[in-house]
């Protein structure tokens, strides 16, 4: 399988798409650039291009909570000092958007009703960010408590796509966090086991997973998302479901490599690139921070 991926310019194609359309990248979509920034194949000019785009869009960083989170995530990948003004002030703003139930919504607090409920996917993203910026364990524990509570409730039946898979990522986060309580880890392990088995059961005979009504024979975007979760859960190509999923994607790789800007296939391309990084099929990139002469590995976490 790895041999089949050799010569496919996954990172280069994604970087070219983002470079040509950099002015049209909303800050909420900065995650599309993460695999490129993490990769050894990252074009030399690409980091500065993304940094300039963020700084030129500084006034939009706090329009939405996810735009603030992804902006800081990108800056940290670019080697920005976590104590810099832009990181510190943005993180402070994010923390002030926390809702009474203990989590966050992707919209700012002032745009929500007092009864608004937090969403797991953005709360998890914030938890990961705050761990990287050195938040104290008391505050992080309170977020873990929210995530664990949300996991116990489980996703609503109508939740799908990113949001449903976020619950699996939440369980994996709790399971792999050294600060999680043993009871939390046990519940998370049970959740992951059941969720992974359910994903296996839902896999189509051709190796894909059902997307929208238009993709009854398997959707590339949905399959890329599920593959990423399976790999994040520790499964590799020796796993039958992962191998079949990879085969499904590779047979349709031309569609990914010719993705048009603004379409869902660009997201699928970025997700697939991230999966390849996790499997170390793509070498991680090492950069030197402007504020630190030490080397920082930006491998997929």
* 164 pLDDT tier (thresholds 50, 70, 90): confident
CA distance 259 to 267: 9
CA distance 290 to 34: 19
Q: Is the pLDDT of residue 62 over 50?
A: yes
**Using one digit for the tens of pLDDT, what is the confidence trace for 116-150?**
999 999 999 999 999 999 999 999 999 999 999 99
- Half-sphere exposure (Cβ direction) of 293: Cα atoms closer than 13 Å: 0
Q: Is the pLDDT of residue 291 over 50?
A: no
**With the CA atoms of 31, 37, 43 and 48 taken in that order, what torsion angle do they form, in degrees rounded to the nearest 10?**
80
User: pLDDT higher for 204 or 291?
Assistant: 204
Torsion over CA: 220, 196, 173, 102 (sign): positive
> What's this model's pTM, rounded to 2 decimal places?
0.90
Q: Which residue has the tokens 């809702």?
A: 99
- What's the mean per-residue pLDDT of the chain? 89
- Name the class of domain 2-297: mainly alpha
> Poorest-confidence range of 4-18, 157-171, 187-201?
157-171
| Percent of the chain predicted with pLDDT > 90 | 80
Q: Is the pLDDT of residue 300 over 70?
A: no
Q: Is the pLDDT of residue 235 over 80?
A: yes
> Poorest-confidence range of 39-53, 83-97, 157-171?
157-171
- Token pair, residue 279, equals 């499997």
Domain ranges of the chain: 2-297
- Token pair, residue 80, equals 């920005």
**Helices and strands (DSSP H and E) totals, the chain:** 14, 2
CA distance 164 to 84: 34
Q: Is the CB of residue 97 less than 8 Å from the CB of residue 119? A: no
* 289 pLDDT tier (thresholds 50, 70, 90): very low
Q: Is 296 strand, coil or helix?
A: strand
């Amino acid at each position: 399988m790895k041999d089949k991926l050799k010569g496919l310019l996954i990172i280069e194609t994604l970087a070219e798409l983002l470079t040509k359309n950099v002015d049209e990248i909303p800050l909420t979509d900065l995650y599309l650039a993460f695999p490129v920034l993490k990769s050894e194949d990252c074009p030399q000019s690409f980091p500065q291009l993304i940094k300039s785009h963020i700084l030129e869009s500084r006034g939009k960083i706090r329009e939405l909570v996810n735009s603030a989170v992804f902006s800081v995530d990108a800056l940290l990948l670019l080697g920005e000092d976590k104590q810099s003004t832009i990181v510190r002030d943005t993180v402070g703003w994010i923390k002030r958007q926390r809702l009474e139930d203990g989590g966050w919504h992707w919209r700012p607090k002032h745009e929500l009703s007092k009864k608004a409920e937090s969403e797991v996917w953005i709360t998890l993203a914030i938890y990961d960010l705050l761990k990287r910026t050195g938040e104290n364990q008391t505050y992080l524990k309170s977020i873990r408590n929210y995530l664990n509570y949300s996991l116990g409730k489980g996703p609503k039946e109508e939740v799908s796509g990113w949001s449903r898979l976020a619950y699996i990522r939440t369980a994996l986060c709790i399971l792999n966090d050294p600060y999680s309580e043993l009871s939390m880890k046990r519940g998370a392990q049970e959740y992951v086991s059941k969720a992974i088995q359910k994903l296996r059961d839902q896999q189509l005979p051709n190796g894909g997973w059902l997307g929208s009504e238009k993709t009854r024979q398997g959707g590339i975007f949905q399959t890329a998302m599920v593959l990423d979760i399976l790999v994040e859960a520790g499964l590799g190509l020796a796993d039958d479901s992962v191998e079949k999923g990879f085969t499904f994607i590779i047979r349709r790789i031309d569609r990914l490599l010719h993705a048009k800007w603004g379409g869902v296939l660009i997201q699928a391309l970025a997700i697939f690139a991230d999966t390849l990084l996790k499997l170390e099929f793509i070498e991680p990139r090492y950069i030197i921070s402007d504020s630190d002469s030490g080397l920082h590995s930006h491998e997929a976490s």
